[in-house]
Amino acid sequence: MNPISILRHGLVLVTLLVASQAQAVEILHWDRKPLPVDLPVGSERVIVLDRNVRVGLPREIADAETLRVQSAGGAIYLKANKPFDTQRVRIQDVETNEVILFDLTAREKGASDEEIQVVFPDGEPADANSSTSDATSSSEKTDRQSSDASQGHTPVPVVLTRYAAQSLYAPTRTIEPVRGINRVALRLPDRMPSLLPALPVTATPIAAWKLDGWVVTAVRLANRDPSRAFELDPRWLQGDLYSATFMHPTLGQRGSVRDTTTAFIVTRGQPLAQALPLSNSSDGGVSASFEDGVRVGGDS
């Protein structure tokens, strides 16, 4: 094919791509004011920022039954499972700690499911709460470098577990940045009966993160028995697992304030979906917990 033909075909492809995007993308310009986003209940909507980000949700919508949130490849995937009033959400750039604010509202009717592209002004940071001075930027860079150095002496499974717990339950401003960590797709069913077959517990995956070949998956455990409470032991978990850490040492009877907790399960070289046994039999591998463990707690 001669150069003219190549150029002609290239222009055709670019034209088609631009036309396609123009029909399916809503453009929002970040100018330090919260960006309003309506979510259609039951349908996924994608927000593209072209940045590696973490999402900070208010308590009112910080559960998968209300809002499912996934982040990958510079995009955020949002699916509202029930309507909710406007909630302020913080989106933080992992590399720079810059913050973008969104006002999310989930509606039964009238909300578009078009992809959203966020456009940032040239040369301006996205942080709605930080100074733009060089001194501040230098300080943040130094803090991140110190954090990276300290992580070199901490086992990756511990770093992952701590980061996952902070991401789900700590205020966004307190989350310790970890270079190289990424949120990954779960690729798990809504229920995992083979994970803890010995107990009447419903296991629901929440989110997963990856670092240096290790994966941590946060799993919500809910007791289905209204008359019994259970001590939690990581050795009861089935699968090719490296470690497990529970938010609480016990699981209260169904209907009590402690009938639900979260397990942070670490796998090596494979996601949890591949580490689970194929059936509910008790032949799967037995997990092990760290000798010292990682204690995690709720919002502080």
Give the chain's residues under pLDDT 70: 1-24, 122-152, 278-300
Q: Report the 10 Å Cβ neighbour count for 70.
A: 18
Closest CA to 259 of 238, 291, 294, 230: 230
Q: Which pLDDT value is given to residue 278?
A: 65
DSSP classification of residue 170: S
Q: Which pLDDT value is given to residue 152?
A: 53
CA distance 243 to 203: 17
Q: Which pLDDT value is given to residue 300?
A: 34
Domain 24-119 fold is: Immunoglobulin-like (2.60.40)
Q: Which pLDDT value is given to residue 224?
A: 93
Compute the residue count for the chain.
300
Reported as a single tens digit per residue, the pLDDT across 263-287 is 999 999 999 989 988 644 333 333 3
Q: Which pLDDT value is given to residue 293?
A: 35
Q: Specify the pTM.
A: 0.48
User: 37 and 116 in contact (C-beta within 8 Å)?
Assistant: yes
Domain spans in the chain, listed from the N-terminal domain onward: 24-119, 154-300
Q: Which pLDDT value is given to residue 67?
A: 93
CA distance 201 to 230: 10
Q: Which pLDDT value is given to residue 53?
A: 82
Both tokens of 172, joined, read 């966004």
